[in-house]
Structures are given as structure tokens and as C-alpha cells.
């Protein structure tokens, strides 16, 4: 009887094993954020360097847009052949 009652009855031990829905939701959000960061940096040896390069590119594009809006002459680019 002892064996049957331990597996069929709703014991308080089972309730302690499962976290509350809020705790579980928070754990899932944290795990999703960790996976997102891991995937974002996958294959990149130096993520800080990549971020700096992206920032430089955005600054360059912003400057070109500002120059186009101001109506001034475009900047000259030198090319050596």
C-alpha cells in the first residue's frame, strides 16, 4: 500500500519541485535573452570591434546625408589608378 499511495497521491513534494508560473516565466525570459546574445556574437572574435565599425559606418552615412541635405558640393574622392 505504501508504494501505491506515494505515486498516486498529490504529495507536497511535487508542488515544491515546480516553480511558480511567474518564476518559470522569468527563467524562460532570461534563457531566451542568453540565447539571443549567444547567437548575436556567434563567430565574432571581438564583438566590441564590430560594434565600433558599425558605429563608424553609421556616422559616415549620417554625414553624407547631412551634406546632401545642405545642398553643398559633394566631397571630392581621390582615386589612384
Taking only the tens place, the pLDDT of each residue in 19-75 is 899 999 999 999 999 999 888 778 878 888 988 999 999 999 999 888 888 776 666
Q: Domain segments of the chain: what residues?
A: 19-65
Residue 46 confidence (pLDDT)? 84
Residue 55 confidence (pLDDT)? 96
- Look up the pTM and report it: 0.40
CA 36 distance to own-chain centroid: 4
Above 60 in pLDDT, residue 78? yes
Q: Look at the alpha carbons of 35, 38, 41, 44 in this order and tell me if their dihedral is positive or negative.
A: negative
Residue 3 confidence (pLDDT)? 57
Amino acid at each position: 500500500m505504501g508504494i501505491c499511495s506515494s505515486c498516486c497521491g498529490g504529495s507536497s513534494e511535487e508542488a515544491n519541485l515546480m516553480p511558480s508560473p511567474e518564476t518559470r516565466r522569468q527563467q524562460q525570459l532570461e534563457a531566451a535573452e542568453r540565447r539571443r546574445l549567444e547567437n548575436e556574437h556567434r563567430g565574432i572574435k571581438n564583438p566590441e570591434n564590430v560594434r565600433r565599425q558599425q558605429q563608424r559606418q553609421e556616422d559616415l552615412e549620417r554625414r553624407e546625408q547631412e551634406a546632401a541635405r545642405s545642398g553643398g558640393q559633394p566631397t571630392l574622392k581621390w582615386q589612384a589608378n
